A and B are shown apart, each in its own frame.
Chain A
C-alpha cells in the first residue's frame, strides 16, 4: 500500500532528523581556532605554501633526472 510506504519513509526522515538534531556541537570560535592551529603547526611542512626551492622539488628541476 503506497500510503503505508509513505508513513515508513516519513518515519525514517523524522528518525534521521532527530539523530542529527541531537549530536554534540562545539562553538565556531573553538572549531575555527583548531583549524587555524592545524594550519600554523603544519605550515613549514607544506611545500606548496612555503615554495620549495628547485633543488628539492622534483617537479621544479629543469633537467630531467632519473632517480635510481
Chain B
C-alpha cells in the first residue's frame, strides 16, 4: 500500500508543460534553419518543357474499384488488388492476365510484389497480410499455397516487402505499423506513435539504411528506425489524412499526398516541409504520389479523376493527365522509370509513358 510521494496530477501537469515547451523549442529550432524556400533555390534551374504523356496500355479485368498496385522488379509485371476481392498479376507489355487470386474478403486495400518476382502479398478488410507464391503452372490453384503472415486488429492499409522476400512491413487501421518474418509469421518489430489509422508507408531506398516513413489519419508523417522501433522524426503540416507517402530517390526527402488536396515535400536533413504542391483549382484529395527516377517530377493521382504532374524543384504543375473515369486510387512509377501505372475506382489500370 505504498503512497505516492508526489500527487500524480501534479506530475502530469508538470509533464504537460514540459511537452508544450519542447514542442515550441522544436518549432524554433526548425525555423532557425528556414533561410530560403526550395523554389527560390531552384530559380536558376532550366524550366521543364511540354510533356506528352499518354495512356499506352489499359488493363481491364477487375470487377470493381482498383485499390492498389505494385510493379515487379522485371519492369513489366504488375500486381493489382480490388474491392471485388481479386488480386491479379498482369504482363503490362501485352496486357495479359497471368495469375488471379480471389481473397476471402472484399476491399483488398494493399498488395505488393516480392523482390524476387516469385510471390505477391496482399490484404485488406481481413486484417491480415497474406503471401501467395506465384506458380509457373497456370492451372495451379494459388489460394492453396497461401501463407498468412501479418495479423492486425483492424484493416490492412499498406504492405511492402523489405529488400528480400523474407520480411514484410505492414500498416493498419489499428494505428500501428509492423515488421514480420514471412517464413514463421513472427512479429519482429512494431511501431507505435500514430494516433489514428495508418494509411500508407514507404521504405527508404536501400542505400540510405533501415528506415521507413508512414502517413496517417492523424495528419502526421512519421519516420521510423526499423531496428529499434523508434520514431525518429515526425511531421505535422497537412490539414487532413495523409493517403500516400513516397521517398525522394536519394532518400533525403519524402513526398506526401493528402485529403487536404495538397502534396508536400519534407526534407529529412532540414527536418521540415520544404515545398507544397497545390493550386486553388485543385480541391479534391490526392490519393497517391510517386517520383520519376531523378526526383524532378512528382506524379499525383487525385480523387477528381486526374493525375497532376509537378515540377518538384520549382513547385509548379507541368501537366495534367485525363483518362480515368473515377478516382485515381493508386499510382507507381516503374522500376526503370520508363512508365508509370495508375489504378482507379473506374475498375481499370492505365500505363502512361
Q: Which residues of A approach B to under 8 Å, CB–CB?
A: 1, 3-4, 6-7, 10-11, 13-14, 16-21, 23, 25-36, 38-43, 45-49, 51-52, 57-60, 64-65, 67
* In the complex, chain B residues whose CB is within 8 Å of the CB of A40: 45
Whether A36 and B297, one on each chain, are in contact in the complex, defined by CB atoms closer than 8 angstroms, is no
Q: Which residues of B approach A to under 8 Å, CB–CB?
A: 4, 8-9, 11-12, 15-16, 18-19, 22-23, 25-26, 29-30, 33-38, 41-42, 45, 48, 51-53, 56-57, 76, 92-94, 193, 230-234, 248-250, 252-253, 267, 269-272, 274, 292-297, 312-313, 333, 336-340, 351, 353
24 contacts between A and B (CB under 8 A): A3-B8, A6-B12, A7-B15, A10-B15, A14-B15, A14-B19, A21-B25, A21-B29, A25-B270, A28-B35, A30-B270, A32-B36, A32-B38, A33-B41, A34-B250, A36-B45, A38-B294, A39-B45, A43-B296, A46-B292, A46-B296, A58-B76, A58-B93, A65-B93
Whether A47 and B313, one on each chain, are in contact in the complex, defined by CB atoms closer than 8 angstroms, is no
Q: How far is the CA of A43 from the CA of B45 in the complex (A)?
A: 12
* CB-contact partner of A35 in B92, B231, B252, B351, under 8 A: B252
Prevailing SS type, chain A contact patch:
helix
Whether B19 and A48, one on each chain, are in contact in the complex, defined by CB atoms closer than 8 angstroms, is no
* In the complex, chain B residues whose CB is within 8 Å of the CB of A65: 93
Which residue of A is nearest B16, CB measured?
A10
Whether A64 and B12, one on each chain, are in contact in the complex, defined by CB atoms closer than 8 angstroms, is no
* In the complex, chain A residues whose CB is within 8 Å of the CB of B53: 48
Which residue of B is nearest A2, CB measured?
B8
Whether A47 and B267, one on each chain, are in contact in the complex, defined by CB atoms closer than 8 angstroms, is no
Whether A38 and B339, one on each chain, are in contact in the complex, defined by CB atoms closer than 8 angstroms, is no
Q: How far is the CA of A58 from the CA of B232 in the complex (A)?
A: 41
* In the complex, chain A residues whose CB is within 8 Å of the CB of B35: 27-29
* In the complex, chain B residues whose CB is within 8 Å of the CB of A39: 45, 294-296, 312-313
* In the complex, chain A residues whose CB is within 8 Å of the CB of B252: 31, 34-35, 38
Whether B36 and A47, one on each chain, are in contact in the complex, defined by CB atoms closer than 8 angstroms, is no
Q: Which 10 A-B pairs have the closest CB atoms?
A: A42-B294, A17-B22, A46-B294, A31-B270, A10-B15, A3-B8, A32-B41, A59-B353, A46-B293, A31-B267
